[in-house]
Amino acid sequence: MDTKKIEEHVFGILEAIGEDPDREGLRETPARVARMLAEVLEGTAYSNHEIAEMFGKTFTNENPSDMESAVVMRDITVFSYCEHHLALMYDMRVNVAYVPRGKVLGLSKIARICDMAAKRLQLQERLGRDIAEIISEAAETPDVGVVISGCHSCMTARGIRNASAKTVTTTYMGAFRSNSELKDLIN
């Protein structure tokens, strides 16, 4: 990420909105914004495959043929930024479930995968798909479900300004597509 270029552009944006970027309260703002963007958009530096490798610590599942068994993690909190308005997507809750096929992920890795995938300019629909693809690769299973509920400031703070609107997206892979019992685990 080119933080120097970001600083230059933020300086220009401040000028364009009629502010004085050299006044005391704004002098360090371009550098702060550049550091913030490098942090909150860290995931742009990695492909889904690289994230799966980074957080793909697995353990052997002692009963790999047990299709009745699923790992479910609910209410993982993340935030992201909408690629259309660069607006905050907030109060996002991610529910993830997968059926182990010989390997299980360390629980913290599931939350880390969700967090890193969210650190990109995103669409909520793509975020669910990215998380599902990463979990599928990391756990070596085709059976993954992801449900995300969240608020979008492009809906709540501007435009229609509907503060109570929440968006819910679902991504189902493998057995989750047709098995309503598996879907019920994360809905």
Is 9 an annotated catalytic residue? no
> How far does Cα 12 stand from its chain's mean position?
30
Instruction: For residue 169, give both structure tokens.
Output: 């997206």
Query: Among the options 85, 122, 125, 133, which is catalytic?
Result: 85
Is 49 an annotated catalytic residue? no
Distance of CA 79 to CAs 38, 76, 84, 170, 176, Å?
A: 15, 10, 15, 17, 25
Is 125 an annotated catalytic residue? no
Is 151 an annotated catalytic residue? no
Is 85 an annotated catalytic residue? yes
Query: Among the options 15, 28, 50, 83, which is catalytic?
Result: 83
Query: Among the options 9, 19, 82, 140, which is catalytic?
Result: 82
Query: Among the options 50, 84, 125, 181, which is catalytic?
Result: 84
Query: Among the options 124, 140, 151, 181, which is catalytic?
Result: 124
The amino acid sitting at 152 is H
β-bridge partners, 105:
58
Q: How many helices (H) and strands (E) does the chain have?
A: 7, 7
The catalytic site residues sit at 82-85, 124, 152, 154
